[in-house]
Amino acid sequence: MKVIHAIGSTAAIGVLALFAACGPQTESASFNLSREFVDSNLNGAVAQIKVLAQNVPADSLPRTFMDGASISSNTSWWTSGFYPGSLLYLYEYSQDTQLLELAKEKLALLEKEKRNTSTHDLGFILYCSFGNALRITGDTAAYRDVLLTAAESLSTRFNPATKTIRSWEGWNFPVIIDNMMNLELLTQATSKLGGDQKYYDIAVTHANTTMRNHYRADHSAYHVIDYNPETGDIIGRKTAQGALDESTWARGQAWGLYGYVMMYRETADSTYLDFAKNIEAFLFNHPNMPENLVPYWDFDSPDLQQDSPYAARHRTTRDASAAAILASALIELSTCADGDEQTDYLGKAERILQTLSSQPYKAEIGSNGGFILRHSVGSIPHGSEVDVPLTYADYYYIEALMRYRRLLSERSIF
């Protein structure tokens, strides 16, 4: 395994790999989306996020829009980093300083979470926000300490017996597949910010344990693994947001694909790349993957009968947030492949972006409370945020467009 050593220069830190590709796009890549398509949707996102900004209280972060009302969160809620992250991506695209100032206002609110040891979601909260801020501005004085302190806080949740980072309180020692998304904070803290090697080691250990224990033979993932914190033994394989313990919750599958592509980029360990390709193959060869590649909230939901109390009402509910995460992951995965594989991955991402950029998923500017996408799912079992816009759906949609735009630029298509 390749260990990436710390890089000390401000210039190097300024290119934090939030959407860095695995490698240069090969000449064999075929692009089916135009510059005009990408810019039109990013320009629309800029206009729409300014509508959203008008609905955001000064002391909170946007979460969703339901029944004609905007719903916000406090800074410790797991989605709090996505709005400033979206603002920063759109500032990067547009150079509209109003977006940067709006982001900085929310960063000032979020900074206190760097010492929050009660959550595993510091990657979502602080890396999607402060990580983007550091990458785009290069302001190490303002942002480096926040990220290193956050990495130290996250590392306190690692248990050597389970070889994982604890996700939630309660249960025994629960670890959810979503936690793969918080590992980038740890790897970057070591490799780009000069932080302790333990952060990188914890991320690798957690990813390896998740690969071993969270996944079935077909490369579908359980949502929750509950461990004995003393021995590391598995107590149960469960779900919290999927239809059944043995079903395939769509957003969890998307988290896993994105997470293992990221881990390959961060480590150059081909085990992660092979694993990501197997996850992708499971998802996109699944008989219940819709033609437009916006998945049902649970891949098993169309076939559920009496097994699940959610089947009758939500059998065909789609999750745009899962699709947006998949699109972003596939674009990066395409840069780790070549030939037919590369074309296949990029083509699927393009199809998702085309779908999300049109009706019924794309909201008209000025509608939807200022959120870009419609039809996402928070948690059907909890009756929470069902078929609504969600801040993280918008974030990963914007990220996917920005990643695609970068590839176009690298190929001199602009």
Provide the pLDDT for residue 183.
Answer: 98
Give the least confident one: 5-14, 116-125, 198-207, 370-379: 5-14
Residues 288 and 181: their CA atoms lie apart, in Å, by: 25
Note the Cα 174 to chain centre separation in Å. Answer: 20
Which residue in 185, 308, 302 sits closest to 250, CA to CA? 302
pLDDT of 205 > 50? The answer is yes
Catalytic choice (96, 121, 145, 298): 121
Residue 155 Cα to chain centre, angstroms: 20
pLDDT tens by residue, 50-75? 999 999 999 999 999 999 999 999 99
pLDDT mean over 254-276: 98
Q: Which of 374, 335, 328 is nearest to 349 (CA)?
A: 328
Q: pLDDT category, 316, cuts 50, 70, 90?
A: confident
Evaluate the CA torsion angle 287, 291, 295, 296 in order and state its sign: negative
Whether residue 129 has pLDDT greater than 90: yes
Structure tokens at 331: 């674009």
Domain ranges across the chain:
10-410
Q: Flag whether pLDDT at 116 surpasses 50.
A: yes
d(CA 376, CA 397): 12
139 is catalytic: no
Give the mean pLDDT of 138-147. Answer: 97
Cα torsion angle, 405, 406, 411, 414, sign: positive
pLDDT of 272 > 50? The answer is yes
As a CATH number, domain 10-410 is 1.50.10.10
What is the number of residues in the chain?
414
Q: Annotated catalytic, 178?
A: yes
Q: What is the pLDDT of residues 335-394, one digit of tens each?
A: 999 999 999 999 999 999 999 999 999 999 999 999 999 999 999 999 999 999 999 999
Give the mean pLDDT of 27-54. Answer: 93
Q: How far is CA 316 from CA 21, 149, 244, 297, 379, in A?
A: 34, 43, 16, 8, 15
pLDDT tier at 303, thresholds 50, 70, 90: low
What pLDDT score was predicted for residue 12? Answer: 36
Res 308: pLDDT: 63
Give the confidence band of 289 by pLDDT, cuts at 50, 70, 90.
very high
Q: pLDDT grade, residue 307 (50/70/90)?
A: low
Amino acid occupying residue 245: D
**Which residue among the candidates 67, 178, 274, 307 is catalytic per the annotation?**
178
